Amino acid sequence: MGKNLVKVTGFRISDDSILEKLNIIAKNHNRTRNQEVEWALSQYVKAYEKENGIININTDSEQL
């Protein structure tokens, strides 16, 4: 049997307008809403690392 390599997550969004706007942005970028969120999060992480340095996953993820 195959193993699903894509991690499934769920987010709660209290402001419906954010979700509606995200749908429009994703459509404008020819992406699904999930692909748009994944892209936006990757940009957020890149910006964070540019300002604060590379995040070492092996040690920092244990602090969560």
Answer yes or no: pTM beyond 0.85. Answer: no
Q: Give 12-61 pLDDT, tens digit per residue.
A: 999 999 999 999 999 999 999 999 999 999 999 999 999 999 999 886 55
Distant-in-sequence, close-in-space partners of 26: CB < 8 Å, separation ≥ 6 = 32, 33, 35, 36
* Helix (H) or strand (E) run with residue 13 in it: none
pLDDT at residue 21, rounded to an integer: 96
